[in-house]
Copies of this chain bind each other. A is one copy, B any other.
Amino acid sequence: MNSSGRPVKIYDTTLRDGTQGEGISFSVTDKLLITQRLDAFGVDYIEGGFPGSNPRDIAYFNEARGLKLQHARLAAFGSTRRAGVKASEDAQLRTLLDSGMPVMTIVGKTWQLHVTEILRTTPEENLAMIEDSVAYLVAQGREVVYDAEHFFDGFKSDPDYAFRVLSAALRGGAGHVTLCDTNGGTMVDDFQRIVAQVVGEFGGDKVGLHCHNDSGLGVALSLAGITAGASMVQGTVNGYGERTGNTNLTTVLPNLFLKMGCTASCAGNLGELRELSLFFDELANLRPDTKAPYVGLSAFAHKGGLHANAAQKVKNSYEHIDPALVGNQTRVLVSDMAGRSSVAMKAKELGYALEEKSAEMKQLIEELKELEFRGYEFEAADASLKLLIAKALGVHRPFYVLEGYRVMIERHEGELFAEATVKVMVNGQPLHTVAECTGPVGALDKALRLALEGIYPELKEMELRDYKVRILESRSGANSRTRVLIESGDARAVWGTVGVSDNIVDASAEALTDAINFKLMLSRGGAK
């Protein structure tokens, strides 16, 4: 089937199936941020959680009901009613409805092996459970997606029953039936043939796909299913998910839009794809996969002399797409800081014109390259970058200098205790203070404020909003190079600063010092 121009629905399950991945865990706040980001990106459905399985997801839906979304429809996930119970009396369906979401996605059995061995009921009762549950939720005004668990295994063992399962869901009023390759074991040929049979029977408009990467084919299966006529793809950002992960949307989307000519609401935002991928890894506290197709740091990096050279001779010869289409870029040899124009922009935000070809710019770019090599990263630390620019321009006012500090952490007879001593210089005067707190960074922060708030009372308005630690080169063990990112804010602004050191407390001290200096630069000038 020719896919060109065909509309496809994108169904994101990062917040539900994605969180089944090892080491993936999002707080309620994270989940709300992600919901808004996915909506802004333009996905059609966001499956937010499984309210029947844990209180955190219930808390999330309580908050999510208040979100004003532009396009996406929020889905809560659950399962069909229990055997022998009326749908209207099933506690789990009640919890699902209580989420208040417009879309309810319910999973049910397709494979008779599971019907008899896990549900311990009859094939007929299973069909009734599916139809009843869907019909009940539809009667409550919800759009229902039916996820046919183990569809492909079920189909191989009994195609007729698998079709009856889908018929039951559609008779109940399901908006979509999703064919799930639950254990990820299906090969592309089989998958495409089976989807084609389903599409032949029911039409493709209501057929969705849910694949896993256990055979390394999550993306290929999803594309094959669309080729066979299905119209909805479920997946997760960065392929998060149980075992080897779910279908990776950051790979499937560019293939659908750029290679197969499909369309979707988010197709116009494909240029934000790399940024979206990084945002998720940041919240999940995962190292980005540098080799990820389309969005990885290395995806358009050329090392071989042959290719690196040829790429300049014949544009596009060695790149299958223009990297800008997915927000990525070509990298040749060592990382070439996209640099000058963005630095010029930051300077402008500070109120200064920094010429792209000036000597200051050249020196600053050199310095940034050196810092990046050492592990600094300024994407989320624009305040540190602006302080650097102000220094390069000779307009930096040093409101204070942290001359030295000492932090002591002690555990003694079960008591834990942290104390920080700081020595700062303000206008040539030394100030020496000490403070204690639960942890070392808190103690440092308190001691600094104690020293400075008398002179700079506006520091009382400032607070630490976020503190993030990333271990760089962790293979070297406990003395790993550490990057600390601190987000600070007051009533008017939010700013990020960075510190890097082989000592985590020292990296924090650096980011903290920048944060305070930037606040003073905002309040007292220094840069315009």
Contacts and interface: CB of A to CB of B under 8 A. Distances in A.
Interface string A284-306: 01010111111011111111110
A245 B291 contact: yes
A447 to B, nearest CB: 12
Given A23-B380, A475-B466, A503 B117 contact: no
Given A22-B379, A467-B477, A478-B508, A293 B185 contact: no
A486 B475 CA distance: 10
A127 interface: no
A220 to B, nearest CB: 3
Nearest to A300: B243
Contact of A337 (B54, B114, B337): B54
Contacts of A503: 409, 416, 418, 438-440
A216 B219 contact: yes
A94 interface: no
Contacts of A219: 215-217, 220
A59 interface: no
Contacts of A406: 408-412
Given A404-B413, A506-B409, A509-B411, A467 B473 contact: no
Interface stretch (A68-76, A199-207, A318-326, A391-399): A318-326
Given A317-B150, A478-B439, A259 B215 contact: yes
Interface of A: 20-23, 25, 27, 29, 53-54, 113-114, 117-118, 150, 182-185, 187-189, 213-217, 219-220, 223-224, 227, 239, 242-245, 248, 251-252, 254-255, 259-260, 285, 287, 289-294, 296-305, 307, 310, 313-314, 317-321, 333, 336-337, 377, 379-380, 404-413, 416, 418, 437-442, 444-445, 463-475, 477-480, 482, 486, 501-506, 508-509, 512
